[in-house]
Each structure stands twice: as structure tokens, then as C-alpha cells.
Structure 1
Amino acid sequence: MEQLLLNFILHHFLNANVNSIVVLNCWSLQTQCDFSKMLNEHSLYSRFVNIETLDLSSDFEYRYLLHKRPVLGVFFDMNCNRAEQVLSILNQSRLYNGHYKWLLYDRNADLRNFKRLFDDANIGVDAELTYAILKPTLLGAFTDVNLTSFVKYDVYNNGYFLGGKLNMTVDCEVECNMKTCYIKRYLSELHMRSKYGNRDKMPDITMRVSVVVTKLPLSTPVPVLIDFLKSENNSNVDPITRFGFRILLIYKDLFGCKMRYTFRSHWGINETYGGGIGDLVSFKADFLSTPFLSTAERIKHVSPLIETGGFSSVCLFRTPRSSSIKGEAFLQPFDGTVWLVFVVLLLVVAVLLWRIFALELCNLRTHLPYKPSLLATVLLAFGSACYQGSSIVPSSAGGRMAYFSLYFATFIVYNYYTSILLSTLLGTPPKSDIKTLGQLADSALPVGLEPLPYTYVYLNASQLPDVRRFVYRKIELSKNPQKVWIPVEEGVLRVRDEPGFVFVLETSYAYPFLERNFLPHQICDLNQVNLRPDKSLFTQLHKNSSYKELTRLSAIRMLETGVFHKHRRYWVRNKLNCVPTNYLFAVGMEYTAPLFLMLVFSYLICLVILGVELLVKRF
């Protein structure tokens, strides 16, 4: 009989794809040696622990079951004298979970005693617990001592502390001889579906859910809070929490369970304490309704299951109008060498035309209203560069060819210059040079912030130099730090009406409101600086939660069917649409002021020269 049992145990763990086994037994030393030899022949690592000599005062898992493998197989003989005491320790240590594949053997086939022991056991929905018994034989029937059958039961609980009941489902009958074992017949339909295909419905439990609501006070009646979270109106109000609650309701339908809500006004006081995240970390909640960021500190306590969105906190501002004069824009089309060559060319042509006019008056007897001086031909050459005509034209063929060459060259240069100048002044509006949070902290731009819980937490907890400088210079040094925190509606409108005003916001909240109140060209004029690096939001559960794998599979199903993306597109906005044709072209005074100043100074110089001429003529 011992050999048949050993064959059965080996058959079970080989089919379970387990390569490491802990055998909790009260067998003889010879039986343990025989079984160890069988396991070694199949390359299975094993450890044998005698139940009768266990030290129950120590940490059971650390001393006997500590491992670094994905899963560990454990055999437990329920017919040992101290079996019930050890089972009580296993229950208190919450070891019936997905980290271990348990095989509990009871040769007495006492189902009533098993239910007594496990009705209130802390078994999860992810438990890999198989209860095996000897198949009862009919009284007086012939039995072959070299052939016997074992019956296996699949055992789990949807959550005892949440109201779950013990589930025992007969699985199959395994027949063993002295050499091997095989499945004789299936006794249910368990084998036709996957593990979680048989456990996807949990109608007997009431799951504890922590729900974050940031836009309504927690004193609001619960029915009003639920109606707000379910409503599709005003999608820009608390969109992340309402998006998460929508997904939570889908989980509720998929699990078929009931839920009890605990409402919180924030995600957490710090990364792992307080708020909804604190409830999840301390096991006060089984679920958090909204996705949240995964950090190095949080990952010690919770496990990210699937990415469910993005989180972006940005500083938005329109490009401030510069108060400085930008006359260099009129010189930028050509570099200094080109300007020098062009001026020299105009002077050479002016001298050439002056001599041509002089030769024509002397030799060709040309009649002109006046004799052009060198200054007149210089003005003529400069006028051609400015696309102006002339009242005098050479009469000789050579002179006219020189005149034509001058106008042709200046025509090409003029068109090239104006095209570059227009593209510079009337092209894409210039963006601000402020690209980082540190540069923003060092600037003189006023700042406002949306009063969001996670913004408070980040600014208080982050030790990055740029963040600390930003907090010190823009918040602590302000005349009234409390007035820096303003509602999103007021902040967005100030960004629109006051170029240069910076408002810190969360994109999914503010973008819908912004698009409704900004003109298209104002959206294109926005500058964006990240308050914190863009991060992904994850659906996360406690590391020891028994619902992790079931939740992950349900989330994958929502992703594959498109349900998830449908809700995400409606509730979460992470991008503003700016079409290039939306730009409104307007040249400011910083560019036109040099022209007006040039005109004023030229008239002043003209008046001075006129006065000098009058004085010379009089005296």
C-alpha cells in the first residue's frame, strides 16, 4: 500500500508541473528513503519534514517552506497524530495560497472531519489545494492489493472573512498499481475548464472596496456619492475616480460578488499610508476603485497587475509677450558678410551710374532736368534695393544695361529678404525658452496650482532639487501661499487671459474644460512643462491578495474586447489638439518698434540737416 501511495503522490505533482516538493509526513525512515529515491529519478527536489517532531513555536513558513521558486508543492499526511495542530498553524499563517500546491491525503476518507477542519479555514480563491482519499470499497468485494484507486477533490474558498463558503468539488479518480498511476475517469467537469474558469464567479462574498472621491465632501450621503460616480454628465469633474469606478462596476459584474464601499477623499498621505492606498496596504480593503501610480516604496506592498492609463501633471502657460525690442529679426535673413557685400555692390553701382550720367551730358548732349550728383546716384541705387523707381534713366544702351542689371539684382535680393522676414514674423508663434521645472522656478512668471491631493503629496514628499526650488520660490516666498491654490476653472481662464501666468494642473481634469474655453490659436500658443515625469497608472492589489490573478485575467478580457479603451477615451484626456491652420498671425510691438524708432530718428536727422543748411545760406 505504501508503494501505491508514493506512486500517487509522484503522479500528482508531475502532472502539476512542480519540481520542488516538501513532504510533511510521519512515515518510517525507510519509506522516506524510498520516496526520495523516486523523486530523484524524476529530477524533483525534495525535503522531508516529520510532523511529529515539528517545532510549532517558530515561524512555520520561514523554517519549513521558505523558497524562491514560483511555486512549491507540499504533501501533507492528515493521518498523523499532530496533523490537526499543524493544520491550525497553516491556517493562522495563511499558507493556503497560490504560492503553494497542496496535496492533503486522508486514508480514512473522513469528509465530515475535513469539512469541520476547513469550513472556517483561511483559504483563498487562488488556493491550489487538493484533498485526496482512498476510494471506498464495497463491503465483501474482492480487492487487489497491488491495485487501488484514489479520489481527488478540488478545494477553495472565495474568501472566508468576506462571507465565502468552503467549495469542495470532486475532480477525478486515479488508479495506481505498483509501477504507475493514471486517471481512470473524471467525476466532474472541472478538467474541461481552467482553474479560474471554474472560480470566476463569487456570489457568496462581499468585497471591501475603498473608493476615492476628490470633488465631493465625504459628508455627502452615500446614494448621492454613488450617483455622482455612476453619472456620465460633466466628464471633466473628477474623471479619474469616475473612470476607475466604472471599471470597478465591470469587475463586480464579472465576479458576480457584492461590494461594500468605504469613501476616501485622497489616495494617501504619503506613498503607503492613509487614504485609499493605506486601506489597501493594511488589508482594510480588498480593492481600490481607481488606478494609481506604482513607486519603489509601494511595490513592496502591492503588485501592479495591468496598465490602465497615464498620469500627467503639467505647468501650462501662454507665451508671454516680450518687453524687449527685437530689431535683429530684420537683419537675420542675411549674415554680416552678405550685408557687407550688398552695400559695397550698391556703392560701386552708384559710382558707375554717376560717371555714366556725366559722360552722357558731355558727349551725348543728353537733356536731363538736373545733373545727377554722386549723392543722387547713391540714393537711386538704395531706392532700387528698396523696390523704388527713379525719375532719371540713362539714355545710352550701356547705361540702360547697367541700370537694368542693378534693378534685376536688387529685385532678387529684395524678394529673398522679404520671404524670409515674413516666414520669421508670421510663421509659427515662438515658444517660451522655459522647458524644465528648474527653469520655471528661476523665472519671474507667477504660478497657481490646482488643489489636488496627489499634488500636495508630491510637492511635500519629493526631494528632487528642482521640485524643492520650485516649492520654495513659487509657494513659500509668495505673499500669501494659500492664494496660490486656486480652482481649475479660475486657473485655466487666467492662463487664457494673462499670457505668462503659469497654472499647474492634472491633464485629465483640465483639458476638457480648457478646450471649451480656449480659441484654437490660444491652444497652439500654450507651453507645457512637466511638474513630474509622465507615469502610467496601474490596477494594483496587495501582494498577498488571493484575487490578483483573477483580476488580471478579467482586465485582459476587458482590454481584448475594447470595453476598457471605450471608457478610457471618454473619461481621460491626455492630449490637446493643435492644428497649424489655427495660428493667428499678429506681429507685436517688439518687432515693429525698431521701424518706428528708425523713422523718428531719420526725421530728426533731416530736421537737423535742414536747419544747418538754412544757417549756412543765411550767413
Structure 2
Amino acid sequence: MKPIYLLFTLFSSLVQADEESTFLLITNYLSRNNMKTSYFFTCWKKTETLQLMHMMTKQDIKFNFVKNEKNAIIQALDEKSMTRYGYILDTRCQNFKNLLSEKISTVNMRLSHPWLILSAQLNTSTSWEVVLKNVNLRMDSNVKFAIPEDESTFNIFDVYNPAHQLGESPVITEFEIWNGSSLQMQQTKTFYLQRRDMSHIKLRSGSVVLISNHSGTFEEYMLDSRFKQLDTMSKFHYPMFLLLEDVHNFTHSLKIEDKWFGNYQNGTDSGVGKLLYENEIDITCTGASQRPPRVDVYDYLMPSYHFRPCYIFRNPGTYNPLENQFLKPFTDTVWYITIVSTVLVSFFIKIFHRLENKFVGIKADYSWATALLITFSVIFQQDSCIFPTGLAGRISFLVLQILSILLYNYYTSSIISSLLSKPPEAFHSLDELGHSKLEIGIEDLPYTITWFEIMNDSDVQYIYKNKVFPPNAKKLNIYEPDEGIAKVKQGGFAYHTQLDTGYPIIARTFDQEQICDITEIPMIPQVGAGIMLQKKSQYKELFHITLRKIKEVGLVHRISQIWESKKPDCLSSIRVVAVGSDQTFIAFLTLFIGMALSLVFLVIEIVWFRFNLDALPPKLFEKMEQFYSLPLQNDPGNRLASRKLPNCQ
């Protein structure tokens, strides 16, 4: 009995050592991949499972042992959008032997979901062909097979398939060796370097061309920078696509559409968006704007192009005719002080004249109205034909003139500097643009028409129904870029187009004053645009790394310098702004109101004097002499004809 017991003890210790080595490999693999949650497809005994759970708890790794039930497996393999999960599969278990080929989608084997698959030793009956039969691996698969070499040693192989859909064979590379306590690297190449070569792959690509009658081949047209304002988005991204092709050595076929998306929010009903969604192409060699509804349907590669559709117009300025532009040079406080000072000076002029007339013997006296008239005449730079004769009155008159010249200098300097240097305040919103006097036209672009149709924004719909397609119009106000920008140059017109289309025409046809007047208002939000892939594409991670490297060395910036147009520089240091009727409306309104009041008072005076002249006291005639240059014609007895009036010559 003793030899049998010793053999049993030795066998148990070997089995325990083998299990412990396997469990150490699992915990080490999950920790190295920074996996905090994991799923296990195993058939181990409870004691073995408890031992592994104890080791996982020490490493702070959450775990879930999946039962061999359909619902449990589906739930474990369900795509977790914001969490990275690690998967451990023991194919030596009869229950999960065919899990790879039967239930696992390729989506679950992406780079973000590492798999460690424990397999039996390979031999004539268990070869790689048998193990990987009907297994849909991906280009970005993060799948490691652990093949036992002995009781405590595993050879770990990295396995992926560059093009399973094209019938390519899996690529198998010895990656590491587990010696029972640590991993020894055998493959020094990174994920990117190992899988960069795609020389056996032919990708299906799609692009958008709006100018169908272009000269030359598609590639010649895409690389022709002479007319970069035409199909700019496609021309910007095609060189980036060619760089991807050069780096990865793949080939491609091409489908050309005349639009990017359809009328659906996610754009899956037409254009290259439909081709991607229905798996007719793998990648686009044009770019598309990255918008929330589309992110759920497509993957984007490093948006680099600035999608900038805007309304372009010469700024007419925004002026409220009822807003008094002539009050702006001074603050309210200064105006109040000026009014109070004017009244006080008028008061002192009147008092000084009366005191001098009474105590000094100067025979000059003025009414309150005359004192106010003198003061306002000086303040308004009109001078006065009546001036004080006494020393006190002249001093007050001199102080009044000093105040007048100082206020005048500050006031006129502010007005002139604002007209020379400050551009008129531009429109800032679609609401202001829609309710302005500007006519509006658009370029015939698919995304612009679609935006009018799908957007429920009140400002967008107001512009569409009242400006772009008025009720009595038979067609949309659509213009070719050259025609639309020419109307913008004339003024009073806003044209919606891509800035990369409009800027080259503006730089070629506008003068400096017109360039300085250019203003833009976006209707479609300005977002980044990038090359699109199918959702959860197996090439996304690889191409994304390549584009990042291309950007680091400055090639993306170079492409941007070639194809993206900058706004023409405004070189004028001084801008002279013409004063229009909106700014001067208050001045003329004041004039007309004053003239109307003068006529009203003239009629009142004529009526009053005609019927009540005889009843007027003599003193009133003396005061009236100061307001009229001729004697009253209806003066009975010619009482005023012989009196001498002040000489203002």
C-alpha cells in the first residue's frame, strides 16, 4: 500500500503544479493587458476554480465563469461599448470545444478584447488546421493560443487573419514562452509592425465626385491642384488614402458616387454611406463630416479636414435707424453734465447781464430765451451775433467757448476714428441674416439641400422658405460658385458654399476693400471630416496608427496647405466706412421734426398776432425786437417800425 500512496501523492503534486502554472499564466496575461474584468469559458473542478478565484482577487480582477448555456454565452459575448473585457477559453473542455467556430463573432476578437485560448498539444490529429477550422479571425484580432510544451511550460502563439473574407490563411507567429513563472518574449515586433503588410489584400473603396465632366482620369483629377475649389473634400482625402496604400501595400477597387449620404439622419439610404452600410465597400477614399447620428453607423479615421460651409456676404453692418448714432461718442454721464453746464452758463449770462445793467450802468439786458440761444449757439459751434459787453459776462462767454471747443474735439475725434478704423457691426446669427435686406442663394450641394430638408430649426426653415425658395418662386435660388461670389461682390447678397470653394474666387476677383468687408455665418455646424470605414472595421486600429504617424512627420499639414484655402488677408490698415441713411436717420428726423414745429408755431403766431396785436402790452414788443429782423407789418400805429434792432452783421 505504501508504494501506491507515494505514486498517488506524486501524481497529485504534479497535477497541482500544472494547474498552478496555468493559473499564473492567466493572471499574468490579464494583468499585463490591464484587464479588470474577464470571462472564463472553462470546465474546471470547483477546487481549481476556487484556487483561480483566490489568485484573481489578489490581482483585483473581476471574473465571471460562464455556464454552458446559450443565454449565458450570448450575454458574455455581448458587445460592451465602453468597457474592455478579457476572455479565457479552454478548448480542451468538451463543452466549449467548438465555441470559436460556432458562436463567437469577429467583433468579439478585436484588439480591445484580448483572448487567451488554452489548447491541447498539437500533433497529427490536432493541428492548426483543425484548431482554426471555421474560425473567423480579424486583422486586428488580439488572440493568443497557449499550447502546452510540458506540465508547466506553454508556447504562446499570436494568431490573426489579414483577409478571412478573401479566403486568406491565418498568420501564426510564436509570440512568447511561459516557463511556469514568467513570460519570455519571442516576438519583438509590435502589433503595428507585425500586421502592417497587407500586400495580399484588395480593399473595396468608394469616393464622391460632384463634377462629372472633369478632364482626365479620376486619379489625375483628384491630384490636380489647379482647380482645388472643385470637389475639395475628396481631393483632400485622396492623397491620404494613397499614403495608406503605400504604407500597407494593399490594392483597391473603386466605386464613384455623386453624393455622400441620403436624407436619413445617419445617411444610410444613399451615396457612399449606403455602400458602406450594405458592405459593398470597405473604406472611402473621400472624407465625410463626423456627426452624432453617423457615428453609430460608421467608423472615422482621425478627422483632419475642416468642413466649413458658410453663408458668405459683404458686411452691410447692422444699424437700428431709431438708435441715435450721434449720442454714442459720449457716455450718458457726460451728456447729463453737458446739459446741466449749458443751463448753468445760460443762467449766469442772464444774471450777469441784469446785474451789470443795474449796478454798472451797462445798458444791455437779455431775456432768458436769448441767454439760452447764445449758449446753445456757442456749444454747437455756430457762434453768436450777440455777446456780452460787461467784463463778467465776457469771462463767462470765454469759459463757454473753451468748453465748446474741448467737447467738439472729443466728439468729432470719436466719430471720425470709429468711421475710419472700426468695421460696422456684422450679423452674428441666422436670425439676423434671414431678417436682413440681403438676398440669399446657395450652391447646389447634396448636403445643403439635405440640411434644409431634415432640420427643424426655425431660423434655417425661415431662410429656406423666405429667401432660398420664396413662396412665389418657381425654383431654388441656386447659383454656380463663380456666379454666386460675383453677386456677393456687388453687395446685398449672401451665398452659401464651402469656404474652400469661395475663398479662391474671392482672392482672385475681389479688391482689398471688398475683401475686408467679407463676413461668414455658418448654417451647418463646422466639424471635422475624415475617411470612413465600416462600423467596427478590422482595419481601423491599423490605419489610425498610420495616419497618426503621417501627421507626426508633417504630411497631413502639407496636404492641408495644398488643398485647404485660407481667407484672403485684409491688408488695409485704415478702413473708410461710408455713412448711410441708417446712421443719419436720426439727424434728418430731428431736422424734419424741428421744421414741422417751426411751421406750427409760425401759424400760431400769425393767428395770434392778427387777432390780438392791439391787446399786447408795449413791453412785449420790446422783447420781440430781439427775435425778428424786421418790424411787424401788422403793427397798428407802426409802433415797432421806428425802433432800431440789434445789428448781427
CA contact (8 A) 1:125 1:547 kept: yes
Distance 1:343 1:552 in 2: 74
TM-superposed deviation, 1:207: 1.4
Q: 2:88 aligns with which of 74, 77, 101?
A: 74
Q: Which residue of 1 aligns with 2:137?
A: 123
Distance 1:233 1:250 in 2: 21
Q: Which residue of 1 aligns with 2:343?
A: 344
Q: Deviations over 1:417-451 (max 9, x none)?
A: 3223324544423224x432234344453211111
Q: Which residue of 1 aligns with 2:563?
A: 571
Q: Which residue of 1 aligns with 2:201?
A: 205
TM-superposed deviation, 1:89: 2.0
Q: RMSD over aligned Cα, in angstroms?
A: 4.3
Identity level (%):
21
Q: Which residue of 2 aligns with 1:428?
A: 422
Which deviates more, 303-312 or 572-581? 572-581
Distance 2:300 2:205 in 1: 17
Q: Which residue of 2 aligns with 1:171?
A: 175
TM-superposed deviation, 1:206: 1.0
TM-superposed deviation, 1:78: 6.0
CA contact (8 A) 1:97 1:546 kept: yes
Helix, strand or coil: the match of 1:306? strand
Q: Which residue of 2 aligns with 1:255?
A: 248
CA contact (8 A) 1:436 1:529 kept: yes
Q: 1:493 aligns with which of 465, 486, 490?
A: 486
Q: Which residue of 1 aligns with 2:294?
A: 298
Change in CA separation of 1:358 and 1:251 when aligned onto 2, cut-off 3 Å: same
How many residues get paired? Answer: 579
CA contact (8 A) 1:431 1:525 kept: no
Q: Letter of the aligned partner of 2:440 in structure 1?
A: V
Distance 1:407 1:575 in 2: 50
Q: Letter of the aligned partner of 1:341 in structure 2?
A: V
1:505 aligns with 2:503: no
Query: Which blocks of at least 5 consecutive residues in structure 2 are unaligned?
Result: 1-13, 603-626, 639-649
Q: Which residue of 2 aligns with 1:272?
A: 267
Helix, strand or coil: the match of 1:532? coil
Q: Letter of the aligned partner of 2:324 in structure 1?
A: E
Spell out the pairing of 1:310-349 with structure 2 (5 A cutoff).
310-320=306-316, 328-333=324-329, 337-338=336-337, 340-341=339-340, 343-345=342-344, 347-348=346-347
Q: Which residue of 2 aligns with 1:555?
A: 547
TM-superposed deviation, 1:308: 1.9
Helix, strand or coil: the match of 1:482? coil
CA contact (8 A) 1:329 1:421 kept: no
Q: 1:88 aligns with which of 98, 101, 109?
A: 101
TM-superposed deviation, 1:164: 4.1
Distance 1:241 1:19 in 2: 42
1:583 aligns with 2:575: yes
Distance 1:493 1:570 in 2: 25
Change in CA separation of 1:42 and 1:604 when aligned onto 2, cut-off 3 Å: closer
Q: Letter of the aligned partner of 2:285 in structure 1?
A: S
Q: 1:417 aligns with which of 406, 411, 414?
A: 411
CA contact (8 A) 2:469 2:476 kept: no
Q: Deviations over 1:345-375 (max 9, x none)?
A: 56446646866997999669xxxxxx99879
Q: Which residue of 2 aligns with 1:16?
A: 29
Distance 2:529 2:194 in 1: 30
1:523 aligns with 2:515: yes
Distance 2:468 2:286 in 1: 29
Change in CA separation of 1:20 and 1:105 when aligned onto 2, cut-off 3 Å: farther
Distance 2:92 2:123 in 1: 10
TM-superposed deviation, 1:497: 0.5
Q: Deviations over 1:76-114 (max 9, x none)?
A: 42685994x554325776654333414251323349842
Helix, strand or coil: the match of 2:204? strand
CA contact (8 A) 1:157 1:167 kept: yes
Q: Which residue of 2 aligns with 1:285?
A: 281
Q: Which residue of 1 aligns with 2:237?
A: 244
1:453 aligns with 2:449: no
Helix, strand or coil: the match of 1:106? coil
Q: Which residue of 1 aligns with 2:119?
A: 105
Change in CA separation of 1:207 and 1:373 when aligned onto 2, cut-off 3 Å: same
CA contact (8 A) 2:66 2:72 kept: no
Distance 1:327 1:299 in 2: 48
CA contact (8 A) 1:154 1:169 kept: yes
Q: Deviations over 1:210-252 (max 9, x none)?
A: 21222335xx68x611111122222222222211112111222
Distance 2:39 2:400 in 1: 100
Change in CA separation of 1:163 and 1:490 when aligned onto 2, cut-off 3 Å: farther
Q: Which residue of 1 aligns with 2:77?
A: 65
TM-score (norm 2): 0.75
Change in CA separation of 1:149 and 1:109 when aligned onto 2, cut-off 3 Å: farther
Q: Deviations over 1:484-541 (max 9, x none)?
A: 1212222122122022x22222223222322333333333333433313332334443
Distance 2:514 2:166 in 1: 54
Q: Which residue of 2 aligns with 1:470?
A: 463
Distance 2:525 2:71 in 1: 42
Q: Deviations over 1:175-226 (max 9, x none)?
A: 4xxxx3444x65x5x2x23222211221111112221222335xx68x6111
Q: Which residue of 1 aligns with 2:45?
A: 32
CA contact (8 A) 1:449 1:503 kept: yes
CA contact (8 A) 2:515 2:568 kept: yes
Change in CA separation of 1:495 and 1:87 when aligned onto 2, cut-off 3 Å: same
Which deviates more, 320-329 or 440-449? 320-329
Q: Which residue of 2 aligns with 1:537?
A: 529
Q: Deviations over 1:269-328 (max 9, x none)?
A: 032312122222333222122333333322222344533233233223334478996793
Q: Deviations over 1:378-398 (max 9, x none)?
A: 776555434466789777655
Helix, strand or coil: the match of 2:292? coil
TM-superposed deviation, 1:546: 1.0
Query: Which blocks of at least 5 consecutive residues in structure 1 are unaligned?
Result: 136-144, 365-370
Helix, strand or coil: the match of 2:227? coil
Distance 2:176 2:328 in 1: 86
Distance 1:613 1:593 in 2: 38
Q: Letter of the aligned partner of 1:114 in structure 2?
A: W
Q: Letter of the aligned partner of 2:413 in structure 1?
A: S
TM-score (norm 1): 0.78
Q: Which residue of 1 aligns with 2:611?
A: none
Which deviates more, 68-77 or 449-458? 68-77
Change in CA separation of 1:327 and 1:15 when aligned onto 2, cut-off 3 Å: closer
Q: Which residue of 1 aligns with 2:9?
A: none
Helix, strand or coil: the match of 2:196? coil
